[in-house]
């Protein structure tokens, strides 16, 4: 992701949208063409992502981290959060919350820490 963000100011919105989506999902979409999609791409191009913020190593509260197993960087970050319960739910890419076991994992965590 960082190489795309490093080049964001040099890329036109449509090209940035394709590069951003490819870095995020591993797939290359068709470039946006309509005005709304181009405006959304321009907005995303100009905003810093939340990934620029530091992830605390010790949150100090019971923490559940659910990842999708598709992105090595996410898995590495999740594994470095001390005292967190890390669960990998494979098969839904960037949306592990859509996994059929996600609600159960959250309920189980809350029943032990809530």
Render pLDDT for 13-53 as a digit per residue (tens, 0 to 9): 999 999 999 988 888 899 999 999 999 899 888 876 665 55
pTM (predicted TM-score): 0.56
Tell me the pairing of strands 63-67 and 84-88: parallel
The set of residues, in sequence order, having a beta carbon less than 8 Å from that of 16 and lying 6+ positions away, is 4, 7, 8, 41, 44, 45
93 phi-psi bin (left φ>0, alpha ψ -120 to 50, beta other): left
C-alpha span between 44 and 91 (Å, rounded)? 26
At residue 105 the predicted structure's pLDDT band, cuts being 50, 70 and 90, is very high
């Amino acid at each position: 992701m960082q190489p795309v963000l490093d080049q964001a100011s040099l890329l036109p919105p449509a090209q940035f949208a394709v590069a951003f989506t490819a870095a995020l999902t591993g797939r290359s979409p068709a470039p946006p063409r309509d005005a709304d999609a181009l405006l959304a791409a321009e907005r995303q191009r100009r905003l810093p992502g939340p990934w620029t913020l530091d992830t605390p190593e010790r949150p100090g509260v019971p923490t559940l981290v659910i990842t999708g197993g598709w992105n090595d960087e996410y898995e590495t970050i999740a594994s470095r959060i001390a005292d967190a319960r890390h669960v990998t739910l494979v098969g839904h890419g960037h949306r592990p919350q859509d996994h059929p076991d996600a609600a159960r994992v959250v309920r189980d965590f809350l029943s032990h820490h809530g």
